[in-house]
Amino acid sequence: MLKKIAAIAAGVAVVATMNSQAVAKTLINGIDANFPPFAYVDKSGKPSGFDVDAVDWIAKKMGFEVTHQPVAWEGIIPNLVAKKIDFICSGMTITAERAKIVNFTTPYWEHRNQFVAKKDSSITEQKILTGGITLGVQQGTSELKWLQKTMKEKGWNFKFRMYDSAPMAVEDVLNGRIEAAAMNDAPAKDAVEKKPVKIVAAFGDVDAYGCATRKADTDLKKKLDDGYIALRKDPYWKELLNKYEP
Amino acid sequence: MLESFEAIVDALPYLLGGVPVTVAAVLGGMALGLIIGVPLAVAQVYGHPLLGRLAGVYVWYFRGTPILVLLFMFYFGLFPLMELNVNALTATAIVLGLASGAYQSQIFRGSILSLSGGQFRAASAVGMSDGQAIRNIILPQALRLSLPGWSNEFSILLKDSALAYVLGALDIMARTHFVASRTYEHLALYALAALLYFLLTWAGVRSLRALEQKVAIRGYGTT
């Protein structure tokens, strides 16, 4: 009796976990689950965002199927390299360090980084950088790397607290657990629109977003590059800009 | 208040989509644990001392390492090293199964030891080999006696399955986290997730209770 149950359970388990990897034609776009307005999972669980919609359009135009899969940001490049996803179009900043491991498409968006604090806070950029405060940053981001590097060079004084998304860092700013948070300007703008926070100052260099592909997938990179060129000429690009206001 | 309620209603279909994933991880883990646990228990009770010692090392290792550590170690370390490309859900089921096997073996070992030694001797007396005695006399009783402890292990494993989130499997926990981060409705949504886990635990334990009653032998031993 129990043996039968064990056999059935094992059978169910095998079948249930026989999850399909990228089935032939369908490519998987790895996205950050919470990076508005470029990529996020909306309240009913559907992947949405500027990059998600752009990729859907490009996929249709260039003739491939795509699904979007939220992946923890600090592990997204290892996931790409391990072929668990096929490319990353999710507000990913092009950096020299990342470009060693992956290929990037031509940049499609420029951005800067911002410090965000509570609306009624009197904190200044000076205080953030040298006042020994706690700064919230998303793990695995280029701005975190930049801050860590520049902090040593300039002798800044503050502590990091890691979060798995910029909006979560904003929440802790509102909860009073940290004094400020650092993020790209797009989620900063999104946070300012939705919550009582303000942008204190910009920091860092002007960076750009690009889509990441594995080094070997040169034809996928070309498809994405061509797709973006076509998208920019199409009125849909304006529609996306209006819809998401990144 | 209203936004919380709306958030729950909007997110519910998406969260329910995580139930099959959670169930798959748990069933896979329990099944693998059963397949590992029974031989380990038999080895520890009836096996050659060296075999029993080896089984003991396995149990000691998997009971002594946090499941979270095991998950990262296997998914990001061991499997890529072995060039084994499993997805997050399968990896979770495997690791849960390996760990649960250690715990389940001790449940079975306890039940086997609770049987009177006279049964094994009587089996030998009528000419059964050790293997036949274990398979036909000892295990059926021991497994039956293990059911309460096994159902306990099931409810523990169901909660541990939430760790699938850290590997990126889209189970109940992962989905709740995504939507909660997005909508800022943490309390409402995690309460909903807790309710889903509770219902799953309740359903599983009830089924195992029914199974217990089905295989119980009236008037013999503990009913």
CATH number for the domain harbouring residue A188: 3.40.190.10
Q: What is the pLDDT of residue A19?
A: 47
Residue span of the structural domain in which A175 resides: 112-206
Contact A34/B178, CB-based, under 8 Å?
yes
Q: Which residues of B touch A187 (CB under 8 A)?
A: none
Cβ neighbours, 10 Å, residue B111 = 22
Compute CA distances B37 → B138, B159, B164, B218, whole Å.
Answer: 15, 20, 22, 27
| Residues A16, B20: C-beta atoms closer than 8 Å | yes
Q: Would B121 be classed as within a structural domain?
A: yes
Domain that holds residue B94: 20-172
Q: How confident is the model at residue B223 (pLDDT cuts 50, 70, 90)?
A: very low
Is the dihedral angle over the CA atoms A32, A36, A39, A41 positive or is it negative? positive
Residues A133 and A173 occupy one common structural domain: yes
Note whether B30 contacts A: Cβ–Cβ < 8 A: yes
User: Is residue B197 situated within a structural domain?
Assistant: no
Nearest-CA neighbor of B214 among A74, A245, A5, A127? A5
The tally of domains found in chain B comes to 1
For residue B138, tell me if it sits in a domain.
yes
Of A19, A44, A71, the CB nearest to B11: A44
Give the pLDDT score at A20.
43
Helix (H, G, I), strand (E, B) or coil at B176: helix
Decide if A63 is inside a domain.
yes
Which tokens go with B117?
């030694």
Residue A133 located in a structural domain: yes
Dist. CA B214–CA B223, nearest whole Å = 10
pLDDT value for A3: 74
Task: Tell me the CB-side half-sphere exposure of residue B10, using CA atoms within 13 A.
Answer: 18
Residue A120 located in a structural domain: yes
Token pair of B88, please?
């997050």
Q: B190 in a domain, yes or no?
A: no
Selection from B175, B170, B173 nearest residue B162 by Cα: B173
Cβ(A211)–Cβ(A89) below 8 Å: yes
- Name the residue among A16, A40, A171 with its Cβ closest to that of B27: A16
The verdict on residue A182 lying in a domain is yes
* pLDDT tens digits for range A21-56: 444 578 999 999 899 899 999 888 899 999 999 999
Q: Which stretch of A102-106, A171-175, B81-85, B196-200 has the lowest confidence by average pLDDT? A: B81-85
Residue A70 covered by a domain: yes
Check whether B190 has a pLDDT greater than 90: yes
Task: Verify whether the Cβ–Cβ distance B215 to A2 is below 8 Å.
Answer: yes
Residue in A40, A41, A82 closest to B80 by CB: A82
Measured CA to CA, the distance from residue B115 to residue B145 in angstroms comes to: 9
Is the Cβ pair A36, B182 closer than 8 Å?
yes
Is residue A85 included in any domain, yes or no?
A: yes
Q: Check the CA dihedral B180-B185-B186-B188 and report its sign.
A: negative
Pairing of strands A212-214, A102-104: antiparallel
**B159-174 per-position pLDDT tens digit:** 999 999 988 889 999 9
Digit-coded pLDDT (tens) for A49-82: 999 999 999 999 988 999 999 998 988 998 898 8
Q: Which of B23, B25, B85 sits opposite A83 (nearest CB)?
A: B85
What is the percentage of chain B residues whose pLDDT exceeds 90? 77
Q: Which of A4, A18, A42, A43 to mutate to test the interface with B (most CBs of B within 10 A)?
A: A43
pLDDT tens, position by position, for chain A (246 residues)? Answer: 667 766 676 666 555 555 444 445 789 999 998 998 999 998 888 999 999 999 999 999 988 999 999 998 988 998 898 888 999 999 999 999 999 999 999 999 999 999 999 999 889 998 899 889 999 999 989 999 999 999 999 999 999 999 989 999 999 999 999 999 999 999 999 999 989 999 999 998 899 999 999 999 999 999 999 999 999 999 999 999 999 887
> In B115-171, which residue ranges form alpha helices assigned H by DSSP?
117-125, 130-133, 139-160, 164-167
Position of tokens 């109940």? B172
User: In a mutagenesis test of the A interface, which of B83, B184, B185, B212 is the best target, namely the one with the most A β-carbons within 10 Å?
Assistant: B184
Residues B36-49 have pLDDT tens digits of 999 999 999 999 99
The residue among A141, A232, A16, A87 whose CA lies nearest residue B31 is A16
Q: Are residues A133 and A71 in the same domain?
A: no
**Same domain flag for A220 and A185:** no
Count of structural domains, chain A: 2
Question: d(Cα B162, Cα B165) in Å, to the nearest integer?
Answer: 6
Q: What's the confidence (pLDDT) of residue B217?
A: 83
Is position B28 within any domain?
Answer: yes
Task: Write the CATH number for B30.
Answer: 1.10.3720.10
| pLDDT beyond 70 at B151 | yes
Q: Are residue A73 and residue A128 in the same domain, yes or no?
A: no
Q: Which amino acid is at A232?
A: R
Same domain, A119 and A96: no
Does residue A221 lie within any of the structural domains?
Answer: yes
pLDDT, mean of residues B27-34: 96
The pTM (predicted TM-score) of the whole model is: 0.83
CB count within 10 Å of CB A121 equals: 15
